Structure 1
Amino acid sequence: MAEVSLDQLARLWDEFRSMPFPRDFYQREPEGKCVVMMDSTLAGCISSVLDGPLDDRRRDILRGRITALGAILPTIADDEYATTYFTHLHGTAVLAAEVDRSRSE
């Protein structure tokens, strides 16, 4: 089962990496959050999960950013592409957290 999830994570990550960052969100900070920083932080965590288990610090960062991004998603519904982009990022990050968690079980 973990192998299937890791393969799925790798596929989602490849799909996500081919998506350009939403141009209008370089300056936009929904809910006061810098989504550029959130994007890069989550990307680093996801990439790290693909390489192996996270350390406690990165695991906490991943969980916190998943929660923060989940709260932001409803506030960006006015931009269809950004919604698609950040929803994909959120789903990929959630799966990364699940893969990381399954490694410790």
Structure 2
Amino acid sequence: MISADTILFALMMVTLVNLVRYLTALRSLIYVMREAHPLLYQQVDGNGFFTTHGNMSKQVKLYSYLKSKEYHHHHDEVFTAKCSRVRQLFILSMALIGVTLLAVILL
């Protein structure tokens, strides 16, 4: 029988790996955004996005841009694909965090 500690450890490792995948994809999106959509890059503070003094309201702007799928109207296919990937990884990561927290509470 598999112990609860093993299940929690495995779930936390999967969650951690997916968070790393999400952050890597987000960094890649911001890099592509510099050329594909310079106005949005400035609006989300592309240079300071991952710094400690990053502006949270500007980061929320990128979240709302991805949530509302405004990128579907963009002409660059690479940018659109990266936006879609970041959106999917964000949803997956948040779901995994929720399941992990629920498992910690229940187990």
TM-score (norm 1): 0.49
Q: Which of structures 1 and 2 has the bigger CA Rg?
A: 2
TM-score (norm 2): 0.48
